[in-house]
Structure 1
Amino acid sequence: MPAIYGLIIPVVIVDLFVTAYQTVCFPAYKIPKVKRSEYLALDRRKLQYLTFGQKLNCLYCDYANGVFAYASEIAGRTEWYWCPIKHPDNAIRAHNYYDEFIEFGDGEEFPKKHKAKREACRACESPNGCATKTD
């Protein structure tokens, strides 16, 4: 248990740093901010049938997984804006934008497509409402 709960400090640090990062950087490039509240659903603790220990464990997992999903969305929007290029090998990506990235090695069309990808990124208001079809 100490190994599991010992990660709370790095998780809180990730939460603080990615929040600060998007607070400073996203407005500068007109990238819509990720709503933290959409990723942190700390609701399982309300279940009456769980013991106190189970509620604590659920709260920890809700928070940690929410923070990592939130950070992944911020990283995904950053990648979408700055470098929306697919990798030559199949890379597993958590965010929803990767499938719409520019093909690896498409140097001739990259400047035009990159501009379109940036505009689509700026139009994004939520993970489910992002317009990624720009080719």
Structure 2
Amino acid sequence: MEHQKIDELVAKIKALESELEAELHKEYEQFTCEITKKREEILASYKKERQGLLRYLATAPILHLLSAPVIWSVLIPALLLDGFVTLYQWVCFPIYKITKVKRSDYMIIDRHRLAYLNSIEKLNCLYCSYFNALMGYISEIAGRTEQYWCPIRHASRVKSMHNHYKKFFDYGDSENFRQRSAELREDLKEEKE
């Protein structure tokens, strides 16, 4: 008799689990439909707001068009710098036991996917995203290098500093520089990629 009661309860539990799963699936389907509908509405709105390529070029100031090759010419040295700095990090950081900078943490390139941008705007967004991401990536590599070799603050105010600068020793603080530089080097080993 006792077993029969347990079997009934187990059957009810299984039925309730099945019913719960069916309800959750219905909600998921409804949610997915709503997201798809909203996505389609947003995409339609974006396409409506996109400026056509010919209109974009026709309304662009002539100086913008003439300066574009100068802007884009910087891409070649940027690619070379990217290659050299990456090579430097891969060769030297293991020697100094510095945690490598994870490139993907800096190379966030996604704005070109926005449907309201025309092809020139998308290309420009790719360029700006890459270049600014590259500068952040290089700044982090340089900051770790500076913390390893020369963790001393400047005598003058610095307008832009990397994240490591706040750990550096005051300008002229030879005692801490000599006694505690090893701590800052050790700190570089513990950083997460």
TM-score, normalised to structure 1, is: 0.89
Match of 1:119 in 2: 186
Deviation at 1:121, TM superposition (A): 1.6
Contact 1:14 1:67 in 2 (8 A): no
Counterpart check, 1:68 vs 2:135 = yes
TM-score, normalised to structure 2, is: 0.63
Contact 1:84 1:101 in 2 (8 A): yes
Query: Which one scores higher on RCO, CA 8 angstroms, separation ≥ 6?
Result: 1
Give runs of aligned pairs for residues 91-102 of structure 1, distance below 5 A: 91-102=158-169
Task: Structure 2 unaligned segments of length 5 or more: list them.
Answer: 1-67
What is the distance in 1 between the residues matched to 2:160 and 2:144?
A: 12
Match of 1:103 in 2: 170
Match of 2:116 in 1: 49
Deviation at 1:31, TM superposition (A): 0.3
What is the distance in 1 between the residues matched to 2:175 and 2:102?
A: 36
What is the distance in 2 between the residues matched to 1:109 and 1:72?
A: 25
Larger Rg: 2
Tell me the number of residue pairs that the alignment of Structure 1 and Structure 2 aligns.
Answer: 126
Paired amino acid for 1:112: Q
Aligned residues with identical type, % of pairs: 49
Whichever structure has more helix as a proportion of its residues is 2
Match of 2:154 in 1: 87
What is the distance in 1 between the residues matched to 2:76 and 2:192?
A: 30
Task: Structure 1 unaligned segments of length 5 or more: list them.
Answer: 127-135
Deviation at 1:81, TM superposition (A): 0.8
Report the RMSD for the aligned CA atoms in angstroms: 1.0
Q: Bigger shift: 68-77 or 107-116?
A: 107-116
